[in-house]
């Protein structure tokens, strides 16, 4: 049994609202509209991610020559995602040395732990392309966050 | 809370159906975990609107990504992790809004001791509340909390002991002021 000296477990449990499930079901049916708020929030990051992934993709295509033509198969997709992941890791390694504001520290801490979770899953499924793609997306998001933070810091310094 | 806690396993058939985005299974799984999820989200966000966002986003994410999960026993804990993340995300988006005391479902006239505890919880910083609730009510270890928060084990330990002391201090103050009121009435 957990150590609960304040007896938090004895607090009466609040009841979930009846209309919560219909709302979840609606979001599952109609992802783009319901996700508009989040998508917009991550738009700059998504653009950065697309750019980095495209660059990483070009590099892999260069290296692989004819084997990675547009009709890429699953293994080349996996290679692309892995290459993007490795490239972003390098970018992040440089960015992690910078100074961060408190908000960025908090959000990056959550992203880092999300990354840890993905790595745990990848340890079990190292050939899962979707996981590698998610990892690359997340790394791109983190790189975007670091970059935004640096940009804001430069603006602030310039204003003094 | 034990009735619908996060440790309920999902059998392989359900997990497979979830991976195929079967709506009926999604609803069954939702009903299985929603009480625990709602309680957790209300306690972490300190308000029903925030809890709604966290639980909705949490279930949607869990259902969409269910195909990645191999072990049905881990679903509840996985969902809990997602909801904690969502709850902290909600807190970041909404900033430092004053948390409200969640309405109780059970008794008509809530126990004043519970109300005091609710008030003390609502007054806490979101991260303090998270550490306290995850450790004491959810039974998570400091190691698990540290991983979840991206912090160290000693951070979790010191935060917990400080938060417990703060809550005790608030509760003592409340009980002293009640005693004074009773004394003055006499």
Structural domain contains residue A31: no
Distances (CA, A) of A36 to A43, A80, A144, B65: 10, 28, 19, 19
Q: Which of residues B85 and A32 earns the better pLDDT score?
A: B85
Structural domain contains residue A119: yes
Structural domain contains residue A15: no
CB pairs under 8 A between A and B: 113
Q: Which of residues B83 and A117 earns the better pLDDT score?
A: B83
What are the pLDDT digits (tens) for A6-52?
A: 999 989 889 999 999 999 999 998 754 444 444 445 555 555 655 55
pLDDT score recorded for residue A66: 44
Structural domain contains residue A10: no
Q: Which of residues B98 and B23 earns the better pLDDT score?
A: B23
Closest residue in B to A124 (Cα–Cα): B70
In chain B the domains, ranked by start, together with CATH numbers, are 1-100 (1.10.1740.10), 108-186 (1.10.10.10)
Q: How far is A14 from chain B (nearest CA, A)?
A: 5
* B84 has a pLDDT exceeding 90: yes
Structural domain contains residue A103: yes
Domain range enclosing A97: 44-62+74-160
What is the arithmetic mean of pLDDT over B163-182?
Answer: 79
Distance CA B77, CA B85 (A): 12
Distance CA B21, CA B63 (A): 7
Structural domain contains residue A125: yes
Phi, psi angle pair for A87, to nearest 5° = -65, -45
Yes or no, beta carbons of B164 and A6 under 8 Å apart: yes
Nearest to B30 among A10, A24, A103 (CB): A24
The closest alpha carbon to B27, from A94, A142, A21, belongs to A21
Reported pTM = 0.58
Contacts of B2 (CB under 8 A, 6+ apart): none
Average predicted confidence (pLDDT) for chain A = 70
pLDDT score recorded for residue B119: 87
pLDDT band, very low/low/confident/very high, at B110 (cuts 50, 70, 90): low
Closest residue in B to A122 (Cα–Cα): B68
pLDDT score recorded for residue A71: 45
Number of structural domains chain A divides into: 1
Yes or no, beta carbons of A14 and B168 under 8 Å apart: no
Q: Is A2 left (phi over 0), alpha (psi -120 to 50) or beta?
A: beta
What are the pLDDT digits (tens) for A82-110?
A: 777 777 776 776 666 666 666 677 777 77
């Amino acid at each position: 049994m957990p150590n609960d000296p304040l007896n938090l477990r004895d607090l009466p449990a609040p009841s979930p609202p009846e209309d919560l499930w219909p709302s979840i079901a609606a979001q599952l049916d109609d992802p783009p509209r319901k996700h508009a708020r989040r998508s917009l929030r991550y738009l700059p990051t998504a653009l950065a991610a697309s750019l980095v992934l495209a660059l990483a993709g070009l590099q892999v295509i260069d290296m692989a020559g004819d084997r990675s033509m547009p009709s890429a198969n699953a293994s080349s997709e996996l290679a692309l995602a892995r290459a993007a992941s490795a490239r972003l890791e390098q970018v992040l390694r440089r960015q992690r040395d910078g100074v961060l504001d408190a908000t960025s520290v908090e959000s990056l801490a959550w992203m880092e732990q999300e990354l840890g979770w993905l790595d745990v899953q990848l340890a079990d499924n190292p050939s899962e392309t979707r996981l590698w793609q998610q990892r690359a997306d997340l790394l791109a998001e983190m790189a975007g966050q670091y970059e935004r933070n640096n940009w804001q810091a430069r603006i602030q310094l310039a204003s003094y | 809370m034990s009735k619908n806690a996060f440790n309920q396993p999902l059998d392989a058939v359900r997990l497979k159906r979830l991976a195929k985005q079967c709506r009926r299974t999604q609803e069954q799984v939702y009903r299985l975990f929603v009480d625990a999820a709602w309680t957790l989200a209300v306690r972490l966000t300190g308000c029903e609107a925030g809890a709604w966002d966290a639980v909705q986003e949490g279930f949607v994410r869990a259902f969409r990504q269910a195909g990645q999960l191999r072990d049905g026993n881990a679903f509840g804990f996985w969902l809990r992790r997602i909801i904690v993340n969502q709850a902290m995300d909600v807190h970041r988006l909404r900033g430092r809004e004053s948390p409200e005391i969640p309405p109780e479902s059970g008794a008509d006239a809530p126990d004043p001791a519970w109300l005091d505890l609710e008030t003390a919880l609502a007054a806490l910083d979101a991260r303090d509340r998270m550490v306290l609730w995850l450790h004491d009510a959810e039974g998570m270890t400091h190691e698990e909390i540290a991983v979840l928060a991206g912090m160290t084990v000693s951070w979790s330990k010191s935060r917990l002991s400080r938060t417990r002391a703060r809550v005790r201090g608030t509760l003592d103050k409340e009980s002293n002021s009640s005693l004074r009121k009773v004394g003055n009435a006499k």
